[in-house]
Amino acid sequence: MNKERVNQLINDLKSADYCCHRIIELNMELEVLNHKKLGLSHESIELTKEQQRSSKPMPTFHGGYTSPVAKLYDIEQKESEILYYRRRLNECKPIELLSFRDQNILFDLYVFKIPRNIVIEKYGYTVKGLYKHIYSVMSKVL
């Protein structure tokens, strides 16, 4: 049971980088949606590559209409996805209870993805000793 929780915490730490990038992307998409919701943007007409290369004039038409309710629904979906990724990041909170040296070991291995050979030289462990130390320290926290 405890080993499973340690493995889950390590997997959460490995995915922290993706979660941070995804939150940034979603915030940028939210900004665009809020801009559209306020009516401050204008959606341009999408032309195909053949139409772009054509010398003949293209017919003009109005772009697709998106109702305000649909825009609010999209915003709500993005916000719920942001909350999901924030919850996943909060699952890494027990790592804050470790010493700074142990935190640095975990960040070097799983966040910065430094090869383990460099990490064991840097902190003076063997490969087996490093992972044994990680599991023992993390099982004390959990």
pLDDT, tens only, 85-114: 999 999 888 888 999 999 999 999 998 899
Separation between Cα atoms, residue 31 and residue 37, nearest integer Å:
10
List the domain boundaries for the chain.
2-44+67-141
pLDDT, tens only, 50-93: 777 887 776 665 555 667 788 889 999 999 999 999 999 998 88
- pTM for this one? 0.69
Instruction: Evaluate whether 96 touches 13 at the Cβ level (below 8 Å).
Output: no
Q: Please list, residue by residue across 66-83, b when 16 or more beta carbons sit within 10 angstroms of its beta carbon and e when fewer do.
A: eeeeeeeebbeebeebbe
CB-based contacts of 16, cutoff 8 Å, min separation 6: 88, 89, 92, 111
